[in-house]
Structure 1
Amino acid sequence: MSWNLFMEPIGLSIQITVAASVLVFAASLLIAWRMAKTRFFGKSILETILLLPLVLPPTVVGFILLVVLGRRSWIGKAYEALFGGPILFTWESAVIAAAVVAFPLAYRTIKTGIQGVDSELENAARAMGASEWQVFRYVTVPLSARSLTSGYILGFCRGLGEFGATLMVAGNIPGRTQTIPTAIYVASDGGSMTMAWAWIIAMILLSFLMLLAVNRISKDERE
């Protein structure tokens, strides 16, 4: 078994997932903050839409992304005009797929943490003249830091394991879009069980370490 052949999907998966999880964390933090702190008509409907990728089959999410990112969509046309080629079956499309499926899990965890912040502390900061942004930055974020970290890690784990949506919008191009899950699928389908098991073990180890970190953070928070 070639070491380079083994490491290529692992390295690519980590790159894609890191990029996706950074996007997910930023979006989840801002959206969860507004959803936790404001009331408006249709809030429950909007939150249901935000959480849909958590329960929809990945192939359904992948099909929707195919339509949204396709060459006939305004996103696809804008990307092609800027970069000279379609966004589908690129590294960027793999990042988008991982981000979309990872978002709901990160969002729910982060929102729970923000809701757990004592509102009296936030009101005290406002009474002292702090703006909403300053309250968010200096009170809400520090007091919910453990939940934010857990949300990031859980989003990372979900993005790392994404298969269906990634395969539909990014394909399985070695060195460009072949992630660990798609590499496992191709290896097992082709009878290369040694390679498949090697990637499976790598995936289990990565996920185990990430979930161990989440459990440790949760334990420290309870104590």
Structure 2
Amino acid sequence: MKKIISVVNQRQGAGKTATAVNLAVCLGLMEKSTLLVDFDPQGDASACLGVTPEQTSGNGIYQALAGRRTLADLERDTDFEFLKLVPAGIDLFAAEAEASAMAGKETFLRDLLAGADNADYVVVDTPSSMGFLTVSALAAAHVVVVPVQCHREALLHLGYLLKVVAKVRSGLNMGLRIGAVVFTRCDTMEDAYARVDADALKNMSSSVFVTTVAKFDGLQGPVAAADIMAKAFEDYFDLAARLIQE
């Protein structure tokens, strides 16, 4: 049975897309058949894998949501053997407006991904907001990965996000759980404790897996394509291994 992992944070700059892309790449490097779904109209995850907005016109995830194409039609090969991409497209901006008047709209993505029969793992990158697209990604997921900036204020915003996850769990997706909270651009847990509210972090760590990903200032794209010896690659790889073990 495939596992669907949605990477979510409503704040820009949290490292959400980098986490989604690198997690998907690492799962692929472990020879797990992986599908990365770019569910953010900005298309940053697609760009990280070399797909531009011009290339996705009429060929993005929105076409499947609208019933015009199948998910399999939209899958693209990547530079990584076990990783395929379903790109976003500018037309995805229309999804929230068009879906707002339709009953059961939040389950569109879940129903669509039910047909991803060839994937062991599906990783969904989401917008930096809590609108229809993000809620749909939560409704579709088995596991949520939450990247957060490594500073004190980030925990305040994290509290709101966790409340949204709990609400989706109670109404749309009873099996939804938090797989990891990831402090990005943060070398170690000791560094995280020094930079955020230590007591709050300790309390959170007692019920949720918390980890860090080191800062990496390479070119845009997967860390594995730039420096497989980087600490950030090791951190993403360890995160992928943890999610596989669950």
Decide: shared fold, TM above 0.5: no
Greater helix share, structure number: 1
The alignment's TM-score, normalised by the length of structure 1, stands at 0.25
Greater strand share, structure number: 2
**Of the two, which has the highest radius of gyration?**
1
The alignment's TM-score, normalised by the length of structure 2, stands at 0.23
The structure with higher relative contact order (CA 8 Å, sep 6+) is 1
